[in-house]
A and B are shown apart, each in its own frame.
Chain A
């Protein structure tokens, strides 16, 4: 019996191998990952749900450039792939702080602005940030804010500030991101300071506030906070607008997103060229393509994240453009800040954060 069974399995395995090898068998949805000689192609490494398939297909139709893309789930994956020195990616989309690290490690190739006439479409408010002065290595792709999601049935009225996250009435119903800078940003903004404050007295004050808040916090979580909120396990969840918007869209009558009036963190994911990028022609063709206002609008309409493209706004669906969770009004945005490198103050903050977490 065992002998026969073994032979059956071997036969099946052989059939599988033959099937996978034969071009006519199995699905051919994927473009072949390795180009033939002279074939133009582009290899993307990007967050999941960041680029609609139809936008990619249209690019291939227009230019004849075959696009191959792989998805990642953390900025650290980008760092690991680029550090290996043998990953063939032409474009990556790291977040602000990772752009700084990648540039510092000399893993990026400068962007040649002369080949990017459409760069002028980008809102100057999002350019020349601390993580990449002069946009030598990065081009804004999408941006968002860090506020909080809340359960409409549990909150008193319509919250518009950070106050509910410090309200003892919400004890055990609050979730905070497990992220030092984001938590300090909440406390600093609530106290009326810049979230990049380096004054030791101010930092002490913020740390004391977070310590006082800790008994109210059910959990510190940066992974699946939006699902915890959607499941009803907490009433308030500190988090990035995109993720909260996703669960809120499923149950708009139950969940909402607040960008507090005191101000909050603003974050941005940028397109960067790895140092070893090889398909340079394809890269610039693609960058100019996504900078096209109509194309950019199709991306925004597809993924519900805001872009920095100004002329694209007239092609963006009104329900997205007018959603304050995606495109906050300028007045709210003015109070928001990018997280900057705070130098030596980081050490102090680290110390306080350990104190808070160990309490």
Chain B
């Protein structure tokens, strides 16, 4: 028995090493003193300093934040509304609507990107930061809808009925009773959207226009002329942001404790 336990532990360690060693090396080399990518020469914050004074990269970070924030707000509102509608009403074509809503997650990104750029072409919409936001909203709504629906599954309708019975208007009921109860799900969905938006390369590369270079596009174009520690540094920051947001989102998605104060 003990031997099997040891083997299992070794196997687990190897799997985790396989998954995370490249990322660990990337983070490590962002502190490398030399611009040589394969040799370790000593510890430095130089690349982070360089990064923070690089106006081009900061401009793309700004673009990424604008797109991330705008897409998050729009997709969260629309996705939450969709989840509420599907979670509580039975209507004709409900199954179809649900499947259509989840489809963007399943369709390969490259197809979504190509389809969107064709659509923008037909619609005569010039490619810009706006088209990037629209594209991100398109694939983000699904994620919000799924997360919020999961939260709604244990929702106690009698609380809303009580509010209505006591004279609250439907709008008041929504903002004072419904929304606070589903808020952790909504926020988890929003964080997820922000994370996905900040990371997205494939769809963005299709629909980005003048002045709409986002951070992932910038990193990719930098890679073509060689991996520099500056790329490693910016990737590390992107990674750290993403991990923090994901951890937060996961925590919010956990089933509410006995007495949630929400």
The answer to whether B38 and A230 have CB atoms under 8 Å apart is: yes
Binary interface encoding of chain A residues 5-43 relative to chain B, with 1 for a CB under 8 A from any of its CBs, else 0: 111011001001100100000110110111000000001
User: Taking CB as reference atom, which chain A residue is nearest B60?
Assistant: A30
The answer to whether A20 and B69 have CB atoms under 8 Å apart is: yes
Question: With an 8 A cutoff between CB atoms, is B59 at the interface?
Answer: yes
The answer to whether A3 and B226 have CB atoms under 8 Å apart is: no
Cβ distance A233 to chain B, nearest Cβ, rounded Å: 9
The answer to whether A231 and B38 have CB atoms under 8 Å apart is: yes
The answer to whether A2 and B252 have CB atoms under 8 Å apart is: yes
Question: With an 8 A cutoff between CB atoms, is A70 at the interface?
Answer: yes
Cβ distance B195 to chain A, nearest Cβ, rounded Å: 12
Given A2-B184, A6-B184, A77-B205, A88:B127 Cβ within 8 A: yes
Query: Would you list which residues of chain B between 65 and 104 have a CB under 8 Å from chain A?
Result: 65-66, 69-70, 72-73
Instruction: Say what secondary structure dominates the interface of chain B.
Output: helix
Q: Which B residues are CB-close (under 8 A) to A16?
A: 65, 69
Given A33-B210, A86-B121, A3:B180 Cβ within 8 A: yes
The answer to whether A33 and B226 have CB atoms under 8 Å apart is: no
Question: With an 8 A cutoff between CB atoms, is B206 at the interface?
Answer: yes
Given A26-B62, A27-B62, A48-B222, A6:B209 Cβ within 8 A: no
Question: With an 8 A cutoff between CB atoms, is A204 at the interface?
Answer: no
Q: Which A residues are CB-close (under 8 A) to B36?
A: 230, 250-251
Given A20-B66, A246-B225, A33:B129 Cβ within 8 A: yes
Q: Which A residues are CB-close (under 8 A) to B205?
A: 77
The answer to whether B38 and A87 have CB atoms under 8 Å apart is: no
Question: With an 8 A cutoff between CB atoms, is B148 at the interface?
Answer: no
B59 CB contact (under 8 Å) in A9, A17, A27, A246: A27
Given A3-B184, A49-B225, A243-B225, A13:B127 Cβ within 8 A: no
User: Taking CB as reference atom, which chain A residue is nearest B255?
Assistant: A2
- The complex places the Cα of A34 from the Cα of B211 at a distance, in Å, of 8
The answer to whether B183 and A85 have CB atoms under 8 Å apart is: no
Residues of A in contact (CB 8 Å), total 50
User: Taking CB as reference atom, which chain A residue is nearest B218?
Assistant: A71
Question: With an 8 A cutoff between CB atoms, is B260 at the interface?
Answer: yes
Instruction: Using A17-B69, A27-B58, A33-B128 as known contacts, list a sample of 5 further A-B pairs with CB atoms less than 8 Å apart, ordered by residue number in A.
Output: A17-B70, A68-B210, A73-B221, A77-B205, A84-B120
Residues of chain B touching chain A, judged by Cβ–Cβ distance below 8 Å, are: 35-38, 55-56, 58-59, 62-63, 65-66, 69-70, 72-73, 117-118, 120-121, 124-129, 180, 183-184, 186-187, 190-191, 194, 205-206, 208-213, 217-218, 220-227, 248, 251-252, 254, 256-257, 260-262
A-B contact pairs, 20 of them (CB 8 A): A1-B257, A2-B252, A2-B262, A5-B252, A6-B186, A20-B66, A20-B69, A26-B65, A29-B62, A34-B128, A34-B211, A49-B225, A70-B211, A85-B121, A86-B120, A86-B125, A87-B209, A87-B210, A231-B37, A250-B36
7 A-B pairs with the lowest CB-CB distances in the bound complex, closest first = A33-B211, A3-B262, A29-B55, A30-B59, A71-B221, A6-B187, A48-B221
